[in-house]
Amino acid sequence: MRLRLRRPRELAKTLLALARRRPAEVEDYLEEHTEEWSALAEATPGDAADILEAIDEETAGELIADLDAEDAAEVLEELRDDLAADILAELPIESAAAVLERMPPDEAVDILANLDADQIEDLLGVMSDEAEAGIRGLLRYPGDSAGGLMSTDLAALPIGMTAGEAIERLRTLHEELEDLSYVYIVDEFDRLEGVLSFRELVFARPGAGLDEVMVRNPLAVSTGTDREEVADLIQRYHLFGIPVVDDHGRLVGMVDTDAVIESVQAEASEDFAAAMGAGAGETVYTDILPAVRARLPWLFVNLGLALVVAVMIEHQTGVISRHPVLAALMPVIASLGGNGGSQTLAVVIRSLATDDIPPGRVPDIMWRQVGIGAANGLALALGAALVTYALTRTGVFYSDASPVELGIVVAAATLGNQTMATFAGSGVPLFLRRLGLDPALASSIFVTLFTDMIGFAGFLLVAAALL
């Protein structure tokens, strides 16, 4: 393969498009043109990471090994954390440690979280004391807490400085700090006293003390604050970041907006996977055995619940034998209920994820959702009854029952199933929360059981009573 492009960004765009179609050709090209690969990684680490994600993992590790530690660190920061960890694990331990040392500690911790404890200890053991201390300091916090999300790279200045002195100090720090949105003011014990936006600092009188221009008692969170609360505070007060303090009020880090967005997205995907009965941390790149272990237990639960529905249907085979058309209509009723329940489930789980359902509002919310289900069910019941009537009259559906009788059965079953489906869609996650469990925990499986029971067995019970 020959490429005439010399600009790194143009080369990256071409290689990425090709890697998604013919990854082997891109692997060969990059292995043969190491200088171009190094220039690409240095100029556009994000594009370089996209290319690595599209090619073979072993080749990606070899290409990372060809880069100097600084460029390798920037590329790995842009990769998925699990892939970055796999690549690090393939590097010589000294090389891997050198790459981690050049990352911000919070980025390094995100990658290390995907390695075994022994691998982490081996890497930390060959790092410099300063880098090891920074990473260990963050590893002790849960990943879904403010401590686990925070960055320790922030602008913190002593309260005794003037605005002019502060600006001079920041000039010497700007290469070390990525985020200068806020300047935090601390006392001699590193306790948080105030905050200034960088803009306010620039426009302050050079001789003014920081204690004169800062905002005192700024909003802050502790290291153990849950990420949902952090996200809520940043959104409510329109912040670019929020300071993190320890139990003694000492400033230890800052959670910026990007970290919150990434964390909320990760939690949303985990909740969705859990609601469907898949592993919370599973991705399309998860190895086969871990994925099977995460999914199989819930599939067995689903099998057991499905057998319950089968037993209920078996007890109504008499009415099916008298009116075979019911076998064709059962899936329609169940499908409508399943969709209605899933819609309600999605709305409720999303509200629970944002902590938008206080316990005192549960009855009102349940009644509201049931009302929505009944209204939808009434409209669907009328439509389903008219269609059933028309198809029976024209001979598409054959039944000993009259078209009117069959239409009434379909209407009654549709209305009841839609109403009960929304009840289940809202009630199951709320009930799981009441038990202290994750509301997203395979809720879909239990809602599906409920709607299938009403859709199949309930429909047959209505038919047996009315036909």
What's the confidence (pLDDT) of residue 266? 64
- At 143-187, the pLDDT tens digits run 888 998 898 888 899 998 999 998 888 888 766 776 678 899 999
Q: Among candidates 157, 150, 256, which has minimal Cα distance to 201?
A: 157
- Cβ neighbours for 274, distance < 8 A, ≥ 6 positions apart: 280, 438, 440, 441, 442
* Cα atoms in the 13 Å half-sphere on the side-chain side of 183: 25
What's the confidence (pLDDT) of residue 192? 95
Distance of CA 393 to the CA centre of its chain: 51
Spatial separation of the C-alpha atoms in residues 149 and 250, rounded to whole Å: 17
Percent of the residues in the chain that have a pLDDT greater than 90, as a whole number = 20
For strands 241-245 and 251-256, give the pairing. antiparallel
- At 256-312, the pLDDT tens digits run 887 777 766 666 555 555 555 555 555 555 667 777 777 777 778 778 877 877 777
Spatial separation of the C-alpha atoms in residues 145 and 226, rounded to whole Å: 5
Query: For the chain, where do the domains classified as CATH 3.10.580.10 start and end?
Result: 155-264
- pLDDT bucket at 379, cuts 50 / 70 / 90: very high
Residue 92 token pair: 């010589």
Query: For the chain, where do the domains classified as CATH 1.10.357.20 start and end?
Result: 288-466
Q: Among candidates 459, 466, 467, 464, which has minimal Cα distance to 420?
A: 459
What's the confidence (pLDDT) of residue 190? 92
- pLDDT bucket at 214, cuts 50 / 70 / 90: very high
pLDDT at 466 over 90: no
Q: Which fold has domain 288-466?
A: Tetracycline Repressor; domain 2 (1.10.357)
pLDDT at 63 over 80: yes
Residue of 412 and 353 predicted with greater confidence: 412
Q: Which of 21-25, 260-264, 459-463 has the highest mean pLDDT?
A: 21-25
DSSP 282: -
DSSP 361: G
Give the strands of the sheet with 251-256, arranged side by side. Answer: 221-222, 241-245, 251-256
What's the confidence (pLDDT) of residue 283? 59
- At 182-212, the pLDDT tens digits run 899 999 999 999 999 888 888 889 899 998 9
CATH of 155-264, one of 3.40.50.300, 2.40.10.10, 1.10.10.10, 3.10.580.10: 3.10.580.10
The CATH code belonging to domain 8-140 is 1.25.60.10
pTM of the complete model: 0.61
Give the strands of the sheet with 192-197, arranged side by side. Answer: 155-158, 182-186, 192-197, 215-216
Phi and psi based region of residue 218 (left: phi greater than 0; alpha: psi -120 to 50; beta: remaining): beta
The residue whose two tokens read 């260990």 is 136
What's the confidence (pLDDT) of residue 5? 47
